[in-house]
Structure 1
Amino acid sequence: MNQPPPEPISPPAAPVRGRELRADARRNRERVVAAAQQLFATEGLGVSLDEVARRAGVGPGTVHRHFPTKEALYLAVSIDQIAQLVAEASTLTATDDPAALFTLLSRMIANGIENILVKSALSAIGFDLRTAAPELAHTLTAHVETLLARARTADLARDDVTPREIMALIAGALHAAAYAGEPSPSHLGAIILDGLRPQVR
């Protein structure tokens, strides 16, 4: 029996001295995070905070005020990516598409590979996004559980896999990507997702 879809949640906002950011400060922060994500993915982690500020169209002081260290910016980029995946998952859960599970997982794998440098840097310094953004991680897993139940009802997914195992497979895909060097996200995703489909005996 399909579970009811979880309620969508908003991405976390950075507090300023216990208060929510003003609208203009929030917009600046979002621009910085978006610019950083693009620069880290295309030019690597050696990009300076000043270059991030230039690409975002804000002053260096704005970046340093929101993100006093590179690690703080890495974490913000990763949390923002999870928030975007949660939004996509919410949209897919609201549809009737029985194959939506595979659409979401393909996106999760592609997103993870695209941001593999940032995720590896966070892992190296001991950050775990499941504890850094537990509500987002829980909601994403809940969407996977709902979509998995739907796929099973349509005989599109095997009966002996759990949502936790699926999330572990996605995490494993990132390690596989790092090992392979520069794999094709679509090819790597196809290999992993084929294992979730019912096996022909």
Structure 2
Amino acid sequence: MSSRSPEPPAAPGNDRGLRADARRNRDRVLQTAQRLFATEGLGVSLDEIACRAGVGPGTVHRHFPTKEALYLAVAIDQIRRLVAEGEALAGGDDPAALFTLLSRMMASGAENAVVKSALAAAEFDLRSAAPDVAADLTRQVAGLLDRARSAGVVRPDLTAGEVMALVAGAFAAIRHAEAETGGEGSAHLAQIILDGLRPRPGGP
């Protein structure tokens, strides 16, 4: 019989206070769940996710007692990854780094569309469930937008709120393009959307 104590549970999207091994297991579960939800749909069971992640079913159920808790944690984890990417881009000197982050945001949103749809159906609001994380992402976008505006590589009249709204609306458009073209048109559509943020000759 093992003398190791069981992993303590964590709130959805929160891994603070976890042991290092528990945090690694949780991260592995989240990455596996995100991949399976995107490729196989929401019908995949928690036990199957545990098996594919290489952990015991009890590990998944302790961290995520319901499917809804796992959906929420997957979505929050993706936002945190985008925040980290934004921080890395902010540390560089590319004036057009905003477009790199927005491209990743649109790709992430398309990848996690089924999870976000499930959360919407369950009346979960990510901005309410994880306000600090959502605000962090908006701040990263705003900072990169300021740099892009100063360099003249983005429309001068564009606000961070408008950028976030455009990206949110782009998720549905990209998912539709993927359904129609098998994914071939999604990258082109994302580029068209981003091009609309660039300065126009003789105008804002």
> TM-score, normalised to structure 2's length?
0.86
1:197 — aligned with what? Answer: 198
Distance across 1 between alignment mates of 2:44 and 2:113: 15
1:14 positional shift: 4.1
The answer to whether the Cα contact below 8 Å between 1:109 and 1:185 also exists between their aligned partners in 2 is no
Letter aligned with residue 109 of structure 1: M
Q: Which of 6, 24, 27 does residue 27 from structure 1 map onto? A: 24
Partner of residue 149, structure 1: 146
Where does structure 2 lack aligned partners over 5 or more consecutive residues?
Answer: 1-12
CA RMSD in angstroms, aligned pairs only: 1.7
1:116-175 deviation digits (Å, cap 9, x = unpaired): 111111111111111111111111111111111111111110011100010001110112
Which one of the candidate residues 168, 171, 174 is aligned to 1:171? 168
- The counterpart of 1:84, out of the listed 74, 81, 86, is 81
Counterpart of 2:93 in structure 1 is: 96
Higher relative contact order (CA 8 A, sep 6+): 1
Q: Distance in 2 between matches of 1:175 and 1:104?
A: 18
**Match of residue 36, structure 2, among 14, 36, 39:** 39
- Mapped contact 1:144–1:163 kept (Cα < 8 A): yes
* Aligned counterparts of 2:188 and 2:130: Cα–Cα separation in 1: 29
Hey, what does 1:117 align to over in structure 2? Answer: 114
1:70 maps onto 2:67 in alignment: yes
Per the TM alignment, residue 177 of structure 1 is displaced from its structure 2 partner at its CA by: 3.1
2:178–2:186: 8 Å Cα contact kept in structure 1?
no
Return the offset for 1:34. Answer: 1.0
Fraction of identical pairs, as percent: 65
**Count of residue pairs the alignment pairs up:** 187
Deviation at residue 178 of structure 1 after TM alignment: 4.1
The one-letter amino acid of 1:187's match is: H
Q: Secondary structure at the match of 2:197?
A: coil
Q: 1:188, CA displacement in angstroms?
A: 2.1
User: Which residue number in structure 2 is paired with residue 8 of structure 1?
Assistant: none
| Runs (5+) with no aligned partner, structure 1 | 1-11
> TM-score normalised to the size of structure 1?
0.87
